[in-house]
Structure 1
Amino acid sequence: MLVFVPAVLLFAAFCLSVREDRRRFQNAVLLGLTCICLSLALLWQVSHLPPLAAEVVVMAVFVLPVLGAAALGVFLVANGLTMARREGRRPANLLSLMAGAGVFVMMALVAAVGVSGSPLLDGIVVTLVMLVAYVSFLFLCFLGYAYLYGRIEVRGDVDYVVMLGSGLAGGERVPPLLASRLAKGREIYAAQRARGAAGPLLLTSGGQGPDERLPEARAMADWLRGQGVPEEHLRREERSRTTAENLAFSRELMEAECPAYRCVVVTNNFHAFRAAMTARKAGVNGQVLGSPTARYFWPSATIREFVAVFWEHRAVNLSICAGIAVFGALVTAGGM
């Protein structure tokens, strides 16, 4: 049973880290490492299992990931075509299509290892596979923990519900994506007041972009007023241009009115975990909740969020990728 000790220790570290702060990316990595160690421990025990149980374990560890990768590739390509048809062919809308194509390219390269007869080509492919495996591991960690983080619910009373802005349609109208955030914020506001809470105040956060006729926070507040929210329950933060500024400037406003404030931040579900990490860096006292997003929009948006998180930790990630590349080059040179 000693083979399960690493998995148990990693899971304990994960639980402690989550208890300390749910908004850290290290939580996602610890959860991913726990799953890997558990899978390796189960493989180690295969010879001691009944035949049927051994087949199930081998299937789960080896066969299912291959089938899952193929299914994922098909889904991403189909989603990419849907995104291009509905949202246009901007690069950001083609991310899921490119990712799906990349899945099939990697599967073909893996299948070609050892067939070409060229040690150099095989070494390059193996190195590329290791790099993709590292990035894929981080992506799965991000995806899995973001899903768990999205299950958070509001507990206790809050003083503010902060709604993060996004671009306005036609420079002045609240588009569906932003309306989803506002509707979620109003839902939290109504639930808090229905149970007798004195607050919360609704804080709209967003400045005026170069192509917008008014600050996003003002358009958001107008939308909420149209939904029956009294003016005295609204606050506006109209300076910010980025998520980091949304949260930093909103924190300043909340601290000025209520130094011991507690808040909930609302954004779209695909953005919730990254916004939570940003909120932690900004010193915001509150968790982040996600509002619904159109299903076809979610895959590309999630990939975009992961790329941003990967780049935010670029010093570590690029160093590890460089180490993998050097290791692959040395192994390839040694085998020639």
Structure 2
Amino acid sequence: MIAYAPAALFFLLFGIGVVRDRRQFSNAVLLGIAVSLLSLALLAELRKAPSMVITLAAAVIVLLPALGTAALVWFLLANGLTMIRKEGRRPANLLSLLAGLGILGVIGLLVAALIVHSRPLAALAGTAVLVVGYISFLFTCFVGYAFLYSRHRPRRDVDFVIVLGSGLIGGERVPPLLASRLNRGREVYEKQAARGNPPVLITSGGQGPDEKLPESHAMADYLVERGFPEEHIEREDRSRTTEENLLFSKAIMEQAKPDYRCVVVTNNFHAFRAALLARQTGVNGHVFGSPTARYYWPSATIREFAAIFLSHKLVNFGICGFIALCGVLAAL
């Protein structure tokens, strides 16, 4: 049982973190470490298994990563081409394609190192694998915990529902992505209104340089045109970023009710990062995600992870730099 002690410790730390505040990326990392340690402990138990079981387990351990990597590369490349076809060649739409090509590049580097038998090339390939492994571990933690976070539904009533804005079509019309947020915000509103305590819905979004009106006004118009009671809408029309969405909406809520509770609505791929920003800005509320087109989700999720990775760049670049330094020393 001692082999399971490290995993149990990290599961305990994860539980404490969740109880303190679900909106922490450290929770995702603690859960990832706990699951990894549990997996290692279970593998250690295989020593007691019959030889046939050990052989099958070894085959799975070897084949599963190889097949999984091949499937992942194919999926990323296919999704990248779909994104280009449907959304255009903007840099944000190329992320899944670039991720797939990057994995292929690392594999190619490993193959070249094995063929050439060059120590510097082998050190470079090993360093690349370790860096990619570290980033992949964090990405897996992010995706796994974001999924768990999305399953949580607060049971208490809230005073406000904040719907975060996004760009407008033609500078004035609500696109499908934003309509999904508004529909989910309306759903949250109506469920509580049915219990006799309707919250105020805040549409949050300022006016971009290529927009004819503030996003919050277009969002409010969208809701009113579909029968939403206008007297229960508050427009926050100054923000340009998610952080400003939350800060300016927080000011509105605190002015109306200092001890407010709220729900923030955005798309599902953006929900966890919005939750991290809500904690950072001091907004007292949970974040709900609305549905997103399946083809759009992978690139958008990679973009959200990249933003979180860069928000902790001192730690992450420090670890990647240390790995790179070790690779240089190994090549000498």
TM-score interval, smaller chain = over 0.9
Matched, 1:201 2:200: yes
Partner of 1:160: 160
Distance 1:200 1:55, change over 3 A: farther
Correspondence 1:306-325 to 2 at 5 A: 306-325=305-324
Is the 2:23–2:276 contact (alpha carbons within 8 Å) kept by the matching residues of 1? yes
The correspondence of residues 14-163 of structure 1 with structure 2, limited to 5 A, is 14-51=14-51, 53-55=53-55, 57-59=57-59, 61-163=61-163
- Cα separation, 1, equivalents of 2:108 and 2:265: 42
CA–CA distance in structure 2, aligned partners of residues 245 and 58 of structure 1: 51
* Deviates further, 99-108 or 83-92: 99-108
Secondary structure, counterpart of 1:288 in structure 2: strand
**CA displacement at 1:69 relative to structure 2:** 1.4
Distance 2:113 2:30 in 1: 31
- Taking the aligned partners of 2:41 and 2:291, their CA distance within structure 1 comes to 38
Cα drift, residue 114 of structure 1: 3.4
The answer to whether the 8 Å contact 1:43/1:58 transfers is: no
Structure 1 residues 117 and 240, CA, compared in 2 at 3 Å: closer, same or farther? same
Partner of 2:278: 279
Residue 45 of structure 1 aligns to a residue whose secondary structure is helix
Matched, 1:212 2:234: no
Q: Is the 8 A contact 1:131 1:324 kept in 2?
A: yes
* Residues 42-67 of structure 1, C-alpha deviations (whole Å, 9 max, x = no match): 22222112345435644554432221
Structure 1: where are the runs of 5+ without partners?
none
Determine the C-alpha separation between the residues in 1 that align with 2:317 and 2:232: 46
**Deviation digits for residues 200-240 of structure 1, max 9, x if unmatched?**
11011001111111111111111111121112111111111
Per-residue Cα deviation, 1:11-48 (whole angstroms, up to 9, x for no partner): 11111101111110001111111121112212222211
In structure 1, distance between residues paired with 2:86 and 2:175: 15
1:117-142 Cα distance to aligned partner (Å, 9 max, x none): 11111111111111111111111111
Q: Deviations over 1:243-288 (max 9, x none)?
A: 0000011011001001111000000000000000000000000010
Q: Percent identity?
A: 58
Measured in 1, the distance between the counterparts of 2:88 and 2:214 equals 26
Query: Contact 2:110 / 2:122 at 8 angstroms: preserved in 1?
Result: no
C-alpha distance in 2, partners of 1:77/1:305?
A: 19
**Matched-pair contact (CA < 8 Å) for 2:206–2:237:** yes
Q: Which runs of 5+ in 2 are unaligned?
A: none
- How far did residue 104 of structure 1 move? 2.3
In 1: Cα distance, 2:326 partner to 2:287 partner: 40
Q: Amino acid of the residue matched to residue 245 of structure 1?
A: E
* Displacement of 1:108: 3.0
Deviations 1:130-166 (A, max 9, x none): 1111111111111111111111224120111100000
Deviates more, 1:258-267 or 1:47-56: 47-56
Distance in 2, matches of 1:8 and 1:65, equals 26
Moved more, 86-95 or 248-257: 86-95
Q: Which moved more, 1:309-318 or 1:86-95?
A: 86-95
Distance 1:82 1:231 in 2: 39
Superposed CA RMSD? 1.4
Give the direction of change, closer, same or farther, for the CA distance of 1:200–1:51 in structure 2 (3 Å limit): farther
Q: Which moved more, 1:68-77 or 1:151-160?
A: 151-160
- SS of structure 1 residue aligned to 2:151: coil
- When normalised by structure 2's length, the TM-score is 0.96
Separation in 1 of the partners of 2:167 and 2:191?
27
TM-score (norm 1): 0.95
